[in-house]
Amino acid sequence: MKQRVPVSQIMAKALIVVNPTKKISEVNQLFNEYGIRHIPVVDGSKIIGVISKNDVQKLGFGASESHPETLNAIYDTFELKDVMVKNPITVTAETNIKDVAEIFYNQSFHSLPVVDNDEIVGIVTTTDLVKYLLDQY
């Protein structure tokens, strides 16, 4: 297995980001439209949080997905800043993949924003990590 491979080799660089005033129904639409599960929340270019598809789905627990208007009404009773993970742990593009794996192992989340010079440059997920490991075999 390769040693000291930086996370920049496996992270997603084409990012969908939202600002904290975005409606949760709109965030959910982005999850569905782009087939993603984590979206960084930014104030300008500074990361202030992360919202996951699971965070949003928990809000609508028990509501039928066959009634999107009802789900959107439920979602929009909450503010993004109250649902997102605030001040997430971040890594740099040069952080090695082993260190990222250790963070995922020791924490209870599945994505890490990648930040260089206080600006978000990517996001790495457990899926990215598993894909990388599978490519090694």
pLDDT beyond 70 at 99: yes
Share of the chain above pLDDT 70, in %: 93
pLDDT value, residue 68: 72
Distance CA 9, CA 47 (A): 21
- Judge whether residue 1 has pLDDT over 60: no
- Asked if residue 129 lies in contact with residue 10, where contact means CB atoms within 8 angstroms, the answer is yes
In a domain, residue 52? The reply is: yes
In a domain, 58, yes or no: yes
The answer to whether residue 6 scores a pLDDT higher than 90 is yes
> For residue 81, what is the domain's CATH number?
3.10.580.10
In a domain, 101, yes or no: yes
Between CA 31 and CA 111 the distance in angstroms is 14
Q: What is the pLDDT of residue 9?
A: 95
Q: pLDDT for 7-28, tens place per residue?
A: 999 999 999 999 999 999 999 9
Average pLDDT of the chain, as a whole number = 91
Q: Would you state the pLDDT for residue 2?
A: 57
| Within-domain flag for 1 | no
- Number of structural domains, the chain? 1
Q: Look at residue 37 and tell me if it is in a domain.
A: yes
Structural domain boundaries, residue 111: 7-135
Predicted pLDDT at 67: 64
Asked if residue 2 is part of any domain, the answer here is no
Distance of CA 130 to the CA centre of its chain: 16
User: Tokens 């028990």, residue?
Assistant: 62
